[in-house]
């Protein structure tokens, strides 16, 4: 897998996306939710704190789209204010809301007015009704919003139930992780920027497993610390070293499983059904990854070869080399 290049222009790093969890918790409990929302306590960030961190982030980042998600973003009554702030900040070309659609009937004109894209994930066991989707489509037409309705029948296995070592496989999981390097699902939360959502909600998940010893700040950038923020963000995004959170994650190499809802018991005790690297890596994709690695003498050599600067229409592009 090749990463998508970051671009440097106008003193900013241009990314595919930047994400914000408008609600960390959710009204569903999907097994293997990549944001670990079924395991985290109810938490709704305020529009005021969103604005403060967004303003700081906008000094160094431009994204194709700012995605408001969660958890379930429609649980947050301040979502329309966040969408307006996001649009006014100019941080992204478009503002997207990603939702499971169950609360679409509660969406007011305030939100439709300030978003460009609404992406609805339809899950087999919990789809919103046809009438709800038709009403949303009518609203979208009125407000010239792009409505994307996507059937999601499978999830990748994301988090494991016991950490794996920081070894070669963890480096491969990180280097092939499309969440971080292709989709740029970089998330800001509580004044920190992270490569993905995993560091944000991992502590809540680990609580349910009776595990501790994970510190999100080790995996992120403090947006308000003194010093050159652009340099710090750039160094962070280009780092070849996996996050500590990658020890709890299968990235894009997790086996695909049918989308389903957790039982209350599974939600309370995720450790009862162990998810391990040994059993839940997709052998097909892992073998493909290994075969690509074999082109280089060692994965390490591949991961640490110097980045080749490229030119594209007169603008300089550079990126951490990603593979395999
Ligand atoms: C974490 S959800 C949050 C927004 C909203 N609750 C929803 O489900 O659409 C954001 C997106 O991630 C996708 N997603 C979550 N866990 C996933 C997984 N394990 N594998 C693939 N996609 C996943 C969802 O289908 C959704 O499109
Ligand atoms: S709807 Fe499912 S995938 Fe989306 S945040 Fe909730 S639990 Fe996760
Ligand atoms: S924790 Fe690591 S492997 Fe998992 S999504 Fe984040 S960057 Fe990718």
197 CB within 6 A, ligand 1:
no
- The enclosing domain of 48 has a CATH number of 3.20.20.70
What HEC string does 142-179 produce?
Answer: HHCCEEEEEECCEEECCECCCCCCCCHHHHHHHHCCHH
pTM score of the predicted model: 0.91
Q: Report if residue 192 sits inside a domain.
A: yes
| Residue-number span of the structural domain to which 137 is assigned | 7-154+178-240
Residue 142 has pLDDT above 80, yes or no: yes
Average pLDDT over residues 80-97: 98
DSSP state, 306? P
36 CB within 6 A, ligand 3:
no
Tally of CB atoms within 10 A around 233: 22
Q: Report if residue 83 sits inside a domain.
A: yes
pLDDT band at 286; cut points 50, 70, 90: confident
Q: Report if residue 12 sits inside a domain.
A: yes
As for how many domains the chain has, the answer is 1
Distance (Å, rounded) from C-alpha 132 to C-alpha 150?
A: 15
Place of tokens 């007169």: 314
User: How distant, in Å, are the alpha carbons of 174, 198, 206, 303 from that of 169?
Assistant: 9, 18, 21, 13
Residue 155 has pLDDT above 60, yes or no: yes
Q: Report if residue 219 sits inside a domain.
A: yes
Contact in structure between 64 and 93 (CB atoms under 8 Å): yes
Distance (Å, rounded) from C-alpha 53 to C-alpha 153?
A: 35
How many angstroms does the Cα of residue 121 sit away from the middle of ligand 1? 7
Tens-place pLDDT, residues 215-272: 999 999 999 999 999 999 999 998 989 999 999 999 999 999 999 999 999 999 999 9
DSSP state, 212? -
Q: Which of 10, 8, 13, 96 is nearest to 62 (CA)?
A: 13
Cis peptide before 290 (omega within 30 of 0): no
Q: Name the closest-CA residue to atom 11, ligand 1.
A: 98
Q: Report if residue 173 sits inside a domain.
A: no
């Amino acid at each position: 897998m090749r990463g998508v290049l970051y671009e440097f222009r106008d003193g900013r790093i241009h990314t595919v996306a930047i994400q914000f969890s408008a609600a960390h918790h959710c009204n569903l409990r999907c097994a293997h939710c990549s944001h670990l929302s079924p395991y985290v306590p109810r938490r709704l960030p305020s529009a005021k704190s969103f604005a403060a961190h967004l303003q700081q982030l906008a000094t160094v980042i431009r994204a194709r789209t700012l995605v408001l998600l969660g958890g379930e973003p429609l649980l947050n009554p301040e979502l329309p204010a966040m969408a307006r702030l996001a649009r006014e900040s100019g941080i992204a070309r478009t503002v997207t809301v990603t939702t499971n659609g169950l609360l679409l009937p509660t969406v007011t004109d305030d939100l439709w007015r300030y978003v460009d894209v609404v992406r609805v994930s339809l899950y087999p066991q919990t789809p919103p009704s046809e009438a709800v989707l038709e009403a949303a489509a009518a609203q979208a037409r009125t407000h010239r919003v792009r409505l994307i309705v996507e059937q999601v029948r499978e999830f990748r296995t994301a988090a494991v139930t016991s950490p794996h070592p920081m070894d070669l496989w963890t480096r491969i999981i990180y280097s092939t992780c499309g969440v971080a390097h292709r989709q740029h699902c970089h998330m800001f939360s509580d004044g920190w920027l992270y490569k993905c959502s995993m560091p944000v909600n991992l502590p809540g998940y680990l609580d349910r497993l009776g595990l501790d010893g994970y510190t999100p700040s080790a995996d992120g950038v403090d947006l308000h610390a003194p010093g050159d923020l652009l340099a710090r963000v750039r160094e962070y995004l280009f780092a070849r070293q996996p996050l500590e959170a990658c020890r709890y994650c299968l990235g894009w190499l997790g086996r695909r499983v049918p989308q389903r809802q957790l039982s209350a018991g599974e939600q309370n005790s995720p450790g009862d059904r162990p998810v391990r690297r040994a059993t839940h890596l997709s052998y097909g994709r892992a073998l493909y990854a290994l075969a690509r690695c074999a082109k280089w003498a060692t994965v390490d050599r591949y991961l640490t070869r110097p980045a080749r600067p490229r030119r594209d229409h007169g603008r300089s592009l550079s990126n951490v080399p990603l593979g395999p």
